[in-house]
Chains A and B, each alone.
Chain A
Amino acid sequence: MNLVWKLLKQNISKGQFAGFFIANLIGLSIVLLGIQFYADINPLFSEKDSVMKRDFLVLTKKVSMINTINPEATGFSQKELDNIKNTSFATQVGAFKASRFKVFGGVNFDQRGINTEMFFESVPDDFIDVKTDSWKFSPNDNSVPIILPKNYLDLYNFGFAEARSMPKISEGLVGMVNIDLTISGRHSYKEFQGKIVGFSNRINTILVPESFMDWANEEFGDQAAANPSRVMVEINNPTDPNIATFLSKNSYEVEGENSATSKMAYFLKIIVAIVIVVGFIICALSFFVLTLSIYLLLEKNMEKLRNLRLIGYAKRIVVRPYELLSLALNLSILLLSLIIVFVVRTQYSEVVRTVWPDFEGSGLLPSIVGGLLIFALLSILNILVIRKKVE
């Protein structure tokens, strides 16, 4: 093997191999960084908050003179709901249901307490952006899960508590507080324990399960059912220009700037995809550089290879040095690019943590798996090229 290698390493062009090495190192690093970054950042847009993964709009009608005179006009009629449902961008439409009964809520600490009149709304469960198992209600229960807007908590923590030097309250702590609820209407009432099960980033109202709302409206509702004043629309593409056209044509308003995150997620995906594609192109080009170098090398050493075969050396022995050479090159590129990914990742992790303190990332597994796949693919192709070239 030693002498075979001594013979066959003749004519190896260090320049060509260095060129391949650098090009492929850059390409592979870009691909792996793209994969790693996407895997790390993706949870920010998906897992933590299911509604962020999907794109929603909350639509209301513009409040104008006509609404004030004729309250009916504030709501969305069935015809209008169907109309929204039939647009090209809407995949699902859910109407808000409002409570038609009276609600009194109170919180008591020791002797002191506060009581207030409240209202509830509900949306279909599918639109809820809080992950919890307790989001359910049956008429036998005397506790009701409640979701508050995240804004309420932020308002308290960053406004009120900050200004008054009062302790900040975490979501977990709020969950331990019970709200005494009294629901009344039609000359009867019932008491419940309200449990705050989560805070919604998207839905700006006090939410209860739709099953509770239907039951309570049935039992205690003493006002006529009105058309929903707000609807949630799930959309397939937040950048669709038809949305804006549709909204202005029908004088609908979008509540808040909620689509900003989904737009960010959308652009992030596009940018990461572009980066990965560029990396792959560089990888592919560098693969061709290596293939050409090997071809050239084999061509220059063809006479030696032939003579080795003629004195009885088997093909697998004479091609092995070249196979090992490309394997070693590819492997060292893989290891180096994984190190690069690791180093760069520690750098960007710090940046990400400044805006997202819970950032943990997904481990190095995605880039290791991706790198191994590319390594295997390139090495197999190299070996096939070599075996095909040598008779």
Chain B
Amino acid sequence: MNKISLHEALPQAFADMATIKSDVWNTATNFEKGKSYLIKAESGLGKSSLCSYIYGYRVDFLGKILFDDTEVKGINKAQWDTIRSRHLSLLFQELRLFPELTALENIRLKNDLTQFKTEAEIDRMFDLLGIAYRKNQQVGKISWGQQQRVAIIRALCQPFDFLILDEPISHLDDNNAHIVANLVAEEVSKQGAGLIVTSIGKDLPMDYTQTLSL
């Protein structure tokens, strides 16, 4: 997958807003592999909807979204399984971790599937993000900011052509935001992937190829 392109895409909920001013909705937009994009928006303009359309778990939009030349609405469930473990990685805004499992188990659950990172690499990420001491605690019992970092590690535990981060640092301090930015930049460049980051004001500090406002 080298390109994600949107053609006149618009959430059905926005259909009656005739003149929407957006760099993404109701126009033609391309996200290319190897480049990085920041999507800025106030809340309620459809950031998470965009992520869910691209990640294939919601289809309530008008227009088209294409992976290269394939329309996402035509991709079947088994193909999505492959895409979600080999081509696309998404950091959910609501994280979608499993609160009953420990932080490490949450990561392993993903890594068992992809077999992408070694134990040592996972340990290094925990250390870098300063949550190594929380590794064996149930995710439901640690703070949201810590959970956010666990979810970021999970998002990096797979091969991807595009990494999508939905408000990745909403609950992190500036120091941790920089650490996350460095870790993400390192992984994205190693994989030669594209990066799409959304923000409602607190941007993940990086040099973006393009900044779009939703």
Contacts and interface: CB of A to CB of B under 8 A. Distances in A.
Interface string B96-133: 10101100010011101110000000000000000000
Interface in A40-88: none
B170 interface: no
B16 interface: no
A311 B109 contact: yes
A7 B138 CA distance: 12
A4 B158 CA distance: 18
Given A6-B101, A304-B98, A312 B85 contact: yes
Given A3-B101, A7-B98, A311 B112 contact: no
Contact of A313 (B55, B81, B92, B100): B81
Contacts of B92: 310
A312 B98 contact: no
Contacts of B112: 3
Nearest to A308: B109
B57 interface: yes
A314 interface: yes
B7 interface: no
Interface in A1-27: 3-4, 6-7, 10
Q: Secondary structure at chain A's binding surface: helix, strand, loop or mixed?
A: helix
A307 interface: yes
Interface string A286-319: 0000000000000000001001111111110000
Interface string A346-382: 0000000000000000000000000000000000000
Contacts of B98: 7, 304, 307
Nearest to A2: B112
Q: Which of B78, B84, B108 has the most CB of A within 10 A?
A: B84
A7 B77 contact: no
Nearest to B84: A312
A311 B84 contact: yes
Nearest to A307: B96
Interface in A86-124: none
Contacts of A311: 84-85, 96, 109-110, 113, 154
Nearest to B57: A310
Q: Which of B82, B100, B154 has the most CB of A within 10 A?
A: B100
A312 to B, nearest CB: 3
A3 B81 CA distance: 18
B109 A312 contact: no
A390 to B, nearest CB: 11
B37 to A, nearest CB: 22
Contacts of B113: 311-313
A304 B105 CA distance: 14
A312 B158 CA distance: 10
Contacts of A308: 109
Nearest to A7: B98
B109 A310 contact: no
A3 B78 CA distance: 21
Contacts of A314: 78, 81
A391 B76 CA distance: 12
Contacts of B100: 6-7, 10
Interface in B33-68: 55, 57
A1 to B, nearest CB: 8
A375 B52 CA distance: 42
A6 B105 CA distance: 10
Contacts of A315: 77-78, 81
A6 B158 CA distance: 22
A174 B84 CA distance: 86
B110 A312 contact: yes
Interface string B68-81: 00000000011001
Nearest to B92: A310
A309 B55 CA distance: 12
B180 to A, nearest CB: 19
A92 B100 CA distance: 76
Given A3-B112, A7-B109, A310 B55 contact: yes
Interface string B169-202: 0000000000000000000000000000000000
A315 B77 CA distance: 9
A311 B82 CA distance: 10
A3 B84 contact: no
Contacts of A7: 98, 100-101, 109
A391 B77 CA distance: 9
Nearest to B106: A3
Contacts of B108: 3
Given A312-B84, A312-B110, A314-B81, A3 B105 contact: yes
A310 B77 contact: no
Contact of B84 (A4, A10, A304, A310): A310
Contacts of B96: 307, 310-311
B173 to A, nearest CB: 27
Nearest to B154: A311
A3 B113 CA distance: 11
Interface in A313-363: 313-315
A312 B105 contact: no
Interface of A: 3-4, 6-7, 10, 304, 307-315, 391
12 contacts: A3-B108, A6-B100, A6-B105, A7-B100, A304-B98, A307-B96, A310-B57, A310-B90, A310-B96, A311-B84, A312-B82, A312-B114
Closest 5 CB pairs of A and B: A312-B85, A312-B84, A314-B81, A307-B96, A3-B109
